[in-house]
């Protein structure tokens, strides 16, 4: 059967996604799997042998990890210029045939979020899952002898415009970066992670940089998997070795990094907190230019049981982050406007519960809002409309690397979601201390380090 993932309920979507391993565009001529290869070649007469070997090799990886399937790209561009010349047409033809034969189910992914330039920002990957008829071909095969596939590159540097992967040769510090990522991945092999009672496939992180090692560098799970589970499901359904988890995150991380650096730089007669006030929040700007239908807001909160829902704060946060990331004011206004439009289009769809700006009446004066956010944060106004996002993401990812080192060295595994982290509930204080320590080591002080519990 073929299923469209954008049409299934969220809980089913995430519960089925986390049981898959990441596939490799690679095949292994292993004698241990040759009986399965020969069976498939015989039953799919005329099928491309490389595609069959690729499918069997990735099946072996999934079976060895005690998983029910693997992620697969349905995009033809993914298959260009691969070393073993595994072709897109051969793979797709094989998958369709195996589906028709009742050997597998195919789950077709989708783009869940687009950026302001119309490029995919967050995707739910496609995957295949095995059916009993196919798994019967593996009866009698000792999985202990199944070969390991080549592991994912732990570090990637991508061209910011084209997305092309650049060479790592001659880049200082690559060895140390890989060491931390490998340390995290090794620690996650030692813990049994479950979601909604199902064993999560092995979690393997990589760090992805943009252009060079000073831009971006965030931690991503190869293949997606557990990374795409929304915040509201993580603390509720995740378990480490059967124990509930806790999630802590840095509040307003990018603006507060800016404030911390200015505070350290001096030039003020007092600590910046004395100027700002103890209750200062970067998003609490003047929003009098917005028109809000508060009845719609309350109805939405009641319908989806979201007591803390605040569309105004959501929009202010989006405007602030976009203004810091954007190269100029014009592109910031365009990006926020596009975000509002995408949110409105979710009304009446299965994604309606994910809307962030319900109640905000259209024709928002976005330029005025961005200006108000900048005025509220006048002390760091030099960081606005200067394309600072990639640099700040590099800082927050370096903070994450330090958190990883501290936690793993103390025997605690963690999951990373950019500026938030999940660990066993009993290690909450340890995680809190590690986050404070990492912020201070990377930025220079932690007076603007604010941590909240999700």
Summarize pLDDT for 62-109 with one digit per residue, the tens: 999 889 999 999 999 889 888 899 999 999 999 999 999 999 999 999
Is the whole-model pTM more than 0.85?
A: yes
Give the residue from 443, 425, 440, 416 showing the smallest Cα distance to 249: 416
pLDDT at residue 328 above 80? yes
Q: What pLDDT, on the 0 to 100 scale, is given for residue 224? A: 76
On the question of pLDDT at 56 being above 90, the answer is: yes
Task: Note the pLDDT of residue 9.
Answer: 83
SS3 315: helix
Mean pLDDT of the region 199-213: 93
pLDDT single digits (tens) 362-380: 999 999 999 999 999 999 9
pLDDT given at position 284: 94
Per-residue pLDDT for 116 more than 60?
no
Q: Which residue has the higher pLDDT, 29 or 330?
A: 330
- The pLDDT of residue 148 is 78
Q: What is the pLDDT of residues 139-180, one digit of tens each?
A: 989 888 887 777 778 999 999 888 888 999 889 999 999 999
Averaged pLDDT of the chain: 92
Q: Is the Cα torsion angle 31, 33, 36, 40 positive or negative in sign?
A: negative
Q: What is the pLDDT of residue 99?
A: 97
Asked if residue 407 has pLDDT above 80, the reply is yes
Residue 268: per-residue pLDDT: 79
Which pLDDT does position 369 carry in this prediction?
Answer: 97
pLDDT at 357: 97
DSSP lists the bridge partners of residue 422 as 247, 415
Helix axes 329-344, 311-325, angle to 10 degrees: 140
């Amino acid at each position: 059967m073929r299923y469209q993932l954008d049409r299934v309920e969220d809980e089913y979507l995430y519960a089925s996604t986390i049981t898959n391993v990441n596939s490799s565009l690679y095949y292994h001529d292993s004698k241990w799997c040759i009986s399965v290869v020969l069976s498939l070649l015989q039953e799919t007469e005329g099928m491309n042998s490389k595609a069959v070997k690729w499918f069997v090799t990735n099946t072996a990886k999934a079976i060895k990890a005690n998983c029910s399937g693997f992620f697969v790209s349905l995009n033809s561009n993914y298959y260009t210029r691969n070393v073993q010349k595994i072709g897109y047409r051969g793979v797709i033809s094989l998958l369709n045939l195996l589906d028709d034969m009742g050997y597998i189910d195919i789950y077709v992914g989708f783009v869940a979020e687009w950026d302001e330039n119309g490029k995919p920002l967050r995707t739910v990957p496609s995957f295949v899952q095995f059916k009993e008829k196919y798994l019967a071909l593996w009866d009698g095969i000792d999985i202990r002898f199944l070969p390991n596939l080549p592991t994912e590159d732990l570090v990637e540097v991508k061209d910011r415009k084209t997305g092309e992967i650049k060479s790592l040769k001659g880049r200082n510090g690559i060895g140390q970066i890989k060491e931390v990522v490998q340390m995290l991945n090794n620690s996650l092999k030692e813990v049994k992670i479950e979601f909604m009672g199902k064993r999560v496939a092995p979690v393997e992180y990589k760090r992805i940089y943009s252009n060079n090692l000073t831009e971006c560098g965030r931690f991503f799970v190869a293949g997606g998997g557990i990374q795409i589970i929304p915040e509201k499901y993580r603390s509720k359904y995740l378990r480490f070795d059967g124990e509930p988890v806790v999630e802590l995150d840095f509040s307003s991380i990018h603006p507060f990094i800016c404030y911390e650096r200015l505070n350290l730089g001096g030039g003020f007669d007092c600590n910046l907190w004395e100027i700002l006030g103890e209750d200062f929040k970067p998003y609490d700007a003047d929003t009098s230019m917005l028109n809000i239908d508060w009845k719609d807001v309350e109805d939405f909160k009641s319908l989806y049981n979201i007591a803390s829902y605040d569309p105004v704060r959501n929009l202010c946060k989006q405007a602030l982050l976009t203004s810091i990331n954007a190269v100029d004011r014009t592109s910031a206004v365009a990006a926020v406007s596009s975000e509002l439009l995408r949110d409105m289009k979710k009304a009446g769809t299965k994604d309606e519960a994910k809307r962030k700006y319900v109640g905000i009446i259209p024709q928002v004066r976005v330029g005025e809002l961005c200006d108000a956010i900048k005025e509220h944060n006048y002390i760091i106004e030099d960081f606005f409309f200067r394309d600072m996002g990639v640099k700040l993401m590099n800082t927050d990812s370096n903070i994450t690397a330090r958190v990883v080192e501290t936690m793993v060295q103390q025997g605690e595994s963690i999951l990373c979601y950019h500026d938030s982290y999940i660990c066993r509930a009993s290690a909450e204080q340890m995680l809190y201390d590690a986050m404070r320590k990492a912020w201070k080591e990377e930025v220079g002080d932690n007076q603007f380090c604010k941590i909240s519990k999700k």
